[in-house]
Structure 1
Amino acid sequence: MTSEAVPSSPSAQAAWFGSWPRGLPHRIRVPRVTLCHNLSVQADRYPDKPAIVFYGRELSYAELRRQTEALAGHLHRHAGVRPGERVLLMSQNCPQFVVAFQAIVRCGAVVVPVNAMCTANELDHYLRDSGAQVALVAQELLPALRPALAGDRLRHVVVHNYADAIDADTDLDVPAWVRAPRAALDDARLAYWADALAAALPAPDIQASPDDLCVLPYTSGTTGHPKGCMHTHRTLLASTFSAVLWRGLHAEAVVMGVAPLFHLLGMQNAMLMPIAIGATVVMLPRWDAATAARLIERHRVTTWGAPPAMLIDFFAHPEASARDLSSLTLLNGGGAAMPEAVAAMLKSRFDLGYIEGYGMTETASFLHCNPLHRPKRQCLGIPAFGVDSRIVDPATLAPLPPGEVGELVTSGDQLMLGYWNDEAANRESFFERDGKRFFRTGDLASVDEEGYFFMRDRLKRMINVSGYKVWPAEVETMLYQHPAIHEACIVAVPDRRQGESVKAVVVLKPGTTLEPAELIAWCRERMAAYKAPRAVEFRSALPKSGTGKVLWREIQAEQCRAVETGAEAVDAPALGEANAGRLDKPLQQA
C-alpha cells in the first residue's frame, strides 16, 4: 500500500491512542491518485490474477481493465458522457457492476449508485435530483426505469444480464433470474452490454483529479427526500486505505462480496479495498447462505465484511457447520450492534471475532473501528487514522465529558464535500471548530475513559432495518399520497431478526375504508421493500402537541412498551420476502 505515515499531532494525547494498534501511525497521507489509477496498477502487477470470482467464473485484473476501457469508450463516444456528468448505476452484485462503476469514473463522470430494490417512483427522484440522463442497469431491473424512458428523461441506457458472467455448467445453485438469457430490447436508446464491449471503442483521454467528484450515493433524508452525498476520489480513498491498513489486508486476501455494492459497506469491502491492494473478491448477487458456505470453503475466503443480520443468518444455517470455514480470519461490519450471545457463539464455535466499526454514507463508510487486538463488543470502536470525533451537547455544541450522552460529531479526510443541491442541509450538518470542519452525525453516543465510542440513541428519527436506514419522514410523505389516509406516523418496532422493522400508525379520512394488507401492498409498489411498513395500526386520532405537531416519540414509546410487556412481538421475514412479487428470491441484504 502506498499510504505514508505522518507524524502525530498534539492531539495524539487523545484517550483512544492508549488502545491504538501497535506499529500503526496515528495519521496516514492519502495517495494523490484516482480510483482508476488503482485498477491500472493492479492490472499491471497481477494481470492474470482473479479480480472477481462469480459463481466459479474468474475475471482477471487484465480483463477487468480491458472491459472497463471498452465500456468507457462506449459511454464517452456513443452515449456522450462527459466529465462531471452523473450516470445512474442499478444492479445486484456482479462483475458488470464493478466494470460499470470503473468505466463511469474512467470517463471523469460521477457514479450514482442506487438500491436495486428501488421503485420507479424512487428512481424518478434520483434522476431528477442528480440530473442523470445515462444509466447502466441489470435487465431484470429495467422495468423500474421504463417510466423515465417514456418521459424522455434518459437518453441512453446500457443493459446487462448476469448470465453473460457465469459458466453454464457451474455446479453451484444459480437462481433462474441469474441464468435468464438476454432479453430483447425495444428502444433505440437501449444498448446491449455485450455489444458495447465488443465495439472496443477507445476510452477517452481524460485525466481526473483526486479532488474531482466521482460518486454520488444517496442517503435517505429526514425531511422526506433522499440526499446525495458528494464524494471525491480523495474522500473514498481516505476511507479505503484506512480500512486496509487498520485490518492488515494484503494482496493474497480473498474477500467475500455479498453485501450490496450500491451500499457503501459493500462498495468499500468488496470493490474499492480489494482493487486497492490487488486482492480477489468472491461475489454473490444476493444473499444465499448455503451457496456462501460452499464458496468460502472452495475459494478459501479469508475476509468478510457484513452486517450482523447477515452473519446471524449464515451461522445459523446447517451449511455453516457442514463446511470447512477455517480460512476465515476476519469478520467485520457495522450498521447495527452484534448481539452479545451471537458474538460469544462465533468465538466459541468458530474461533472468530467480529470487529465492529462505525461509518455512514456521508463518511464513505470507514470512520471508527475496534482495534483488532483489543475490541469491545457492541461498540463503535475508536476513531481511525486522522479522525477527530467528539461528543457534544446537541443544542449548544459544547463538548461533553466521558460517560455523558451527546451528539457524535466528526472530522476527517473521508468526510463528504456536502449534500448535493441542498445548502440548507449543509448549513445544518456542518460547523467549524479548532480550524476543522465537523459533521453532525445525528447519532447520540458516549465515549468511555479509554476513548471507545458507544451508540446510545438517535437524535434524528431513523429506523435501522438490517443495516438499511429508513427515515420515517420519507415513508410518511409517500403515505400521504394515498387517497384514504388523513394522518400517518411511522415508528420502529423491535424485530428479533432485523433489529427493527417499520410500522405505520394511520388515521383514515372520513368515509373511507382500508385493510392493513392493502396499504402494505400499496407501499411495496412505491418504495423499496425494506422501507415499506410490515405492520399497520389504524387509529381515530394521533396524539399532538399544542402546536399541532404529531407526537411521534409518544407513539414510539407505546410500541416499545408493548414489546416489553409481551403485548406485541415482531419476528419479520427475511428482507425481500415482502417483495417476492417483484424479486423471486429473498433479499436479506444490508
Structure 2
Amino acid sequence: MPADRPHYRFWPKRLPHAITPPATSLWHNLATSAQRYPDKPALVYFDRVTTYRELAGQVEALAGALHGLGVRRGDRVVLDMQNTPQLVVAHFAILRANAVVVPVNPMNRAEELKHYIRDPDAKVAITTGDLAGELAKASNALPAGERLAHLVVTQFTDALDPAAAQGPSMAPAWRDWLLARHELPALDGGEVHAWTDLLARSAPAPAHEVGADDMALLPYTSGTTGLPKGCIHLHRSLMHNAVSGQMWGCAHPDTVVLAVVPMFHITGIVSMMHTAILAAAALVIMPRWDRDVAGHLISTWKVTSWTNIPTMVIDLLASPHFKNYDLSSLVYIGGGGAAMPQAVAQRLLDGFGLAYQEGYGLTETAAPSHSNPPDHPKQQCLGMPFMGVDARVVDPDTLQELPPGESGEIIIHGPQVFEGYWKRPDATASAFIEFEGKRFFRSGDMGRMDEEGYFFITDRLKRMINASGFKVWPAEVELLMFRHPAIQEACVIATRDAYRGESVKAVVVLRPSHKDTTAEEIVAWCRENMAAYKVPRQVQFVDVLPKSGSGKVMWRLLQEAEDGAKQ
C-alpha cells in the first residue's frame, strides 16, 4: 500500500497499518478464551448466563455429534437461525468438526431455501423448531440426490428458562414465538434429530485438522442477475477482520456486546461474534430487535459495545421509556448498512458523548473494508480503508484511478477479501481486476475519496435496494415473482421510505387471463414465498414495461420516474 495515503494522518496512533493474524483456525479463538477465562460469561440470553467453559463443552459435544452424522472436512453445513446461544454453539461446532458454515437468513421461505441446500451440496442443516418445517419442505421438494440427509432441530426453550418470559428481557410479542415447542417435521430420505438428544450422545469430536487456508464460511450474496452466489471465505480472511476488529474497537475480556445485529449476516458473524469470542467478551443476545428490551439490556448488563443499523438507534431514541434507560456504560456505538442521519448522530454526540462510527464492507470483504477511526470519525462517511486494506476509486469503464473528489467505483485489495464465488468461475473472473500488480475486488459501489482519504458513497451503481440495512436484490425478487400464475412480467425498484430508508416496489404486467388479480393478493403470495424484507410494499400495475431495442427491461427509467415522483 502506498505509504503516502492521506488517511494515515488520522490513523489511530496506537495501531499498525497492517497486522499479522494468527495462523490457526477460528475455533482456536474459542478454545483459547475458554482456557483463559473458563468461568467468565460468554453468552447472556434472557438472564441465563453461559460461561466460556460451558460454551466450549457444548461446541465439543455438537462437533462430535456432527462427525457421527457423517460430517467431514470441508463439508458444507447449513445454519438457519435467529440470534440464540444455539447459533453460536452450532457455528463453532461446525468449524470444530472441520466443516464449513453456510449461514442462511431465517426469513427465507422454502422456495428460497432450496438454493441454499442444492448449491453448496449440503447434506446437514441445523435450525430452530419454528423454521424446521420450511427447511424440510425445501429439501423434500428437491430430487432425491440433492436432499438433506440430516436435519438438526433445537427449540428456543433448550436455552431459555420459561420463567424469564415474565421479565423485561422478554418482549410480550416474543412469548408465543419463543416459548412454543414445535413437532419435528418429516424429512424425505433423511433423519431429523432433536438438538438435546444429539448433545446427550457425548460422541467424541474428531481431530481438528483445518487451518488458516481451509474454507470456513460460505455466506451467500445476491447480485444484479440470477440466484445468490456463495462467497468463499477461508479461516484467515475472517481471522484477519476479527483480530483487526478487536484492535480497532479496543475489545477486551470485560467488553459487553449487545448482540442484536443478526449473526447469519457477515457483520454479525465477523465484527460481532468472532471478534467478541476472540476477545473473550460477553455477548448479550437479542433474538430480534425491540427497542425497550434493548434499553433494558444495555442498562442492566452495562453494555459497552453496540454494533447496529441506524434505524435501531432512531427507534430506541423515540421510545416513550427512553428516559428510564442508562446508556452511560456504552463506549462504542456504530455500524453500517445504511447512512446514520446527521441529526441523530449529533444527538448521540451531544447527549452521550458517543461518536457514531460508521463503517463499510460487503459479504465479499468479511465485513469491514472501511471504518471510521474512533478518534477522528466523520458523519455519513464510510470511513478510511481498514487495517491492511488498499482501496481506490476508479472510473468503472476505463478502470483508471480518479483524483480526490471525483466519483467512481470503489475497488478493494486486502487480506480479508474472499477467494471467489462458489462454483462460479465466470462471476469470480468479472469481480476482480489487476491494478498496480495486485488483485482488487470490484465493489460495484460508486463513491468518492476526499482530500483526507475518507470514502463516501455517491451513487447507486449496483441495482440494489437498501431496506433498513437489509440488501434486496431486485433480480432475485423478480425471479420469485415470475412464479406467480398471474404475473406476466415484473420489474422491482426502490421507493423511498421515511423509516426504512428504502422499500421494495414491484411494477407488474398481469397475464390477460388474470386481470382481476389485486395488489393485495400479490403481496400476500410474496409473503408466503420470500423473506419478509424482500416482499414488495407497493405493487403498481402497468400495461407494458419499458424495454430497450434488445428487449431488456429498462429498470433505470422506472427507477428515475419513481425518484422524480418522490421529490
1:356 matches 2:346:
no
Could you say which residue in structure 1 is the equivalent of 2:83?
Answer: 93
Q: CA deviation at 1:546?
A: 2.4
Between 400-409 and 482-491, report the one with greater CA deviation: 482-491
Q: CA deviation at 1:184?
A: 4.9
The structure 2 residue matched to 1:46, chosen from 37, 46, 68, is: 37
Could you say which residue in structure 1 is the equivalent of 2:157?
Answer: 163
Between 112-121 and 431-440, report the one with greater CA deviation: 431-440
Q: Is the 8 A contact 1:315 1:321 kept in 2?
A: no
Q: Is the 8 A contact 1:12 1:26 kept in 2?
A: no
Structure 2 CA distance for aligned equivalents of residues 237 and 121 of structure 1: 33
Instruction: Output aligned runs, 1:321-400, within 5 Å.
Output: 321-400=323-402
- Which consecutive aligned stretches of 4+ in structure 1 deviate over 4 angstroms post-superposition? 184-188
The structure 1 residue matched to 2:536, chosen from 509, 512, 533, is: 533
Instruction: Output aligned runs, 1:81-120, within 5 Å.
Output: 81-120=71-110
Could you say which residue in structure 1 is the equivalent of 2:179?
Answer: 179
The structure 1 residue matched to 2:243, chosen from 217, 237, 241, is: 241
Q: CA deviation at 1:198?
A: 1.1
Letter in 1 for 2:123: Q
Structure 2 CA distance for aligned equivalents of residues 168 and 491 of structure 1: 43
Q: CA deviation at 1:185?
A: 5.7
Q: CA deviation at 1:478?
A: 1.6
Instruction: Output aligned runs, 1:246-261, within 5 Å.
Output: 246-261=248-263
Structure 2 CA distance for aligned equivalents of residues 204 and 488 of structure 1: 50
| Partner deviation per Cα, 1:458-482 (whole Å, 9 max, x = no partner) | 2220000111111111111122222
Instruction: Output aligned runs, 1:562-573, within 5 Å.
Output: 562-564=565-567
1:520 matches 2:510:
no
Could you say which residue in structure 2 is the equivalent of 1:67?
Answer: 58
3-state secondary structure, aligned to 1:209: coil
| Partner deviation per Cα, 1:124-151 (whole Å, 9 max, x = no partner) | 0111111101000001001111224434
Could you say which residue in structure 1 is the equivalent of 2:552?
Answer: 549
Q: Is the 8 A contact 2:184 2:192 kept in 1?
A: no
Q: Is the 8 A contact 1:231 1:417 kept in 2?
A: yes
Structure 2 CA distance for aligned equivalents of residues 189 and 522 of structure 1: 30
Letter in 1 for 2:120: S
Could you say which residue in structure 1 is the equivalent of 2:429?
Answer: 427
| Partner deviation per Cα, 1:326-369 (whole Å, 9 max, x = no partner) | 11111010011101111112222333221000001000001100
Q: Is the 8 A contact 1:148 1:154 kept in 2?
A: no
3-state secondary structure, aligned to 2:19: strand
Instruction: Output aligned runs, 1:409-488, within 5 Å.
Output: 409-488=411-490
Letter in 1 for 2:296: R
3-state secondary structure, aligned to 2:368: coil
Structure 1 CA distance for aligned equivalents of residues 246 and 368 of structure 2: 10
| Partner deviation per Cα, 1:432-458 (whole Å, 9 max, x = no partner) | 222311000000000011000000112
| Partner deviation per Cα, 1:8-54 (whole Å, 9 max, x = no partner) | x6x12111111111221111111111111001100000000010000
Structure 1 CA distance for aligned equivalents of residues 460 and 185 of structure 2: 46
| Partner deviation per Cα, 1:80-129 (whole Å, 9 max, x = no partner) | 00001000001110110000000101111110000010100111011111
Q: CA deviation at 1:255?
A: 0.3
Q: CA deviation at 1:270?
A: 3.1
Letter in 1 for 2:72: R
Could you say which residue in structure 2 is the equivalent of 1:133?
Answer: 123
| Partner deviation per Cα, 1:261-287 (whole Å, 9 max, x = no partner) | 000111123310110010001001111
Change in 2 beyond 3 A, CA 1:186/1:545: closer
3-state secondary structure, aligned to 1:144: helix
Q: Is the 8 A contact 2:505 2:538 kept in 1?
A: yes
Between 313-322 and 274-283, report the one with greater CA deviation: 313-322
Q: CA deviation at 1:510?
A: 2.1
| Partner deviation per Cα, 1:149-205 (whole Å, 9 max, x = no partner) | 434501111100111212232223532221223635656711111111111110001
Unmatched tracts of structure 2, length 5 or more: none
The structure 2 residue matched to 1:286, chosen from 271, 285, 288, is: 288
3-state secondary structure, aligned to 1:34: coil
Could you say which residue in structure 2 is the equivalent of 1:582?
Answer: none
Instruction: Output aligned runs, 1:204-243, within 5 Å.
Output: 204-243=206-245
Q: CA deviation at 1:371?
A: 1.1
TM-score normalised by L of structure 2: 0.96
3-state secondary structure, aligned to 1:28: coil
**RMSD value over aligned CA atoms?**
1.3
Change in 2 beyond 3 A, CA 1:308/1:43: same
The structure 2 residue matched to 1:142, chosen from 132, 138, 141, is: 132
Letter in 2 for 1:123: L
Q: CA deviation at 1:547?
A: 2.4
Structure 1 CA distance for aligned equivalents of residues 122 and 59 of structure 2: 20
Letter in 2 for 1:140: D
Structure 2 CA distance for aligned equivalents of residues 533 and 226 of structure 1: 19
Structure 2 CA distance for aligned equivalents of residues 154 and 319 of structure 1: 46
3-state secondary structure, aligned to 1:367: strand
Q: CA deviation at 1:302?
A: 0.3
Letter in 2 for 1:158: V
3-state secondary structure, aligned to 2:245: helix
Number of matched pairs: 554
